[in-house]
């Protein structure tokens, strides 16, 4: 059985986006739980629709965070570029949601080698899992981002070249990574 699982796993380059809603804890204290549920639902739909337009695949909703893959399930030459375009579009789309107060996001995007395979999750049946440091990198980059900002890792920056304007954030120590990483704000 472990052998078939190994055969179904595949190594590939993936661009991963982590989107986080800014100030959701404060939002929760101000809104009625029903209204909060509707707001989070509208935010999730906005993220799903926006990233789908750029070929992104929502892998997981984690409360106010959304994990998105670009270049999976179908590989794309320009996955990194599409992820950055989706990130910039998302900042505007989320801000325009007709909510009682404007919503803002922080977005981190990382590109790297991962292993995509079948993971068994209790009670959820089978789920395609991505293993590697890239999802962690995207989450850490998101944590570095200011509200309404898209922060990308060095591999993503290398792949998108001069398609965008960037602010160099210098070398940054990031928890869980042995060497400092060099992020850029798009």
**Burial (CB count within 10 angstroms: exposed 0-12, middle 13-18, buried 19+), residue 19:** buried
C-alpha pair distances (Å), 63 with each of 13, 67, 110: 27, 11, 21
Residue range 133-151: mean pLDDT, rounded: 94
Q: For residues 79 and 74, give the distance between their C-alpha atoms in angstroms, rounded to a whole number.
A: 10
pLDDT range class, residue 11, cuts 50, 70, 90? confident
Residue 106 CB partners (closer than 8 Å, separation 6+)? 19, 20, 22, 142, 143, 145, 146, 147, 148, 149, 151
Q: Which of 131, 127, 108, 130 is nearest to 119 (CA)?
A: 127
Q: For residues 108 and 87, give the distance between their C-alpha atoms in angstroms, rounded to a whole number.
A: 8
**CB-CB contact of 110 with 137 (8 Å):** yes
Q: Are strands 149-152 and 184-185 parallel, antiparallel or unpaired?
A: antiparallel
Please tell me the total count of domains within the chain.
Answer: 1
**pLDDT tens-digit profile of 61-73?**
988 999 999 998 7
pLDDT at 120 over 60: no
Residue 89: give its domain's CATH number: 3.30.70.1230
pLDDT at 2 over 60: no
Report if pTM > 0.75: yes
Q: For residues 18 and 78, give the distance between their C-alpha atoms in angstroms, rounded to a whole number.
A: 18
pLDDT at 117: 74
Domain that holds residue 176: 2-185
**pLDDT tens-digit profile of 78-101?**
999 999 999 999 999 999 998 878
Q: Which of 146, 134, 147 is nearest to 174 (CA)?
A: 134
**CB-CB contact of 142 with 149 (8 Å):** no
Q: For residues 78 and 60, give the distance between their C-alpha atoms in angstroms, rounded to a whole number.
A: 22
Residue 50 tokens read as 């926006």
pLDDT at 1 over 50: no
């Amino acid at each position: 059985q472990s052998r078939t699982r190994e055969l179904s796993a595949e190594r590939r380059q993936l661009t991963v986006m982590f989107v986080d809603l800014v100030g959701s804890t404060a939002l929760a204290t101000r809104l009625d739980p029903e209204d909060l549920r509707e707001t989070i639902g509208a935010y999730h739909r906005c993220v799903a629709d926006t990233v789908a337009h750029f070929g992104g695949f929502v892998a997981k909703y984690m409360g106010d965070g959304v994990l998105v893959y670009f270049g999976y399930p179908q590989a794309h030459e320009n996955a990194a570029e599409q992820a950055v375009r989706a990130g910039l579009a998302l900042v505007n789309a989320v801000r325009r949601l007709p909510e009682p107060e404007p919503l803002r996001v922080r977005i981190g995007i990382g590109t790297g080698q991962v292993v995509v395979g079948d993971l068994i999750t209790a009670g959820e049946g089978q789920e395609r899992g991505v293993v590697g440091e890239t999802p962690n990198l995207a989450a850490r980059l998101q944590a570095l981002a200011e509200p309404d900002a898209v922060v990308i890792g060095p591999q993503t920056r290398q792949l998108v070249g001069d398609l965008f304007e960037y602010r160099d954030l210098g070398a940054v120590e990031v928890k869980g990574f042995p060497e400092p990483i060099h992020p850029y704000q798009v």
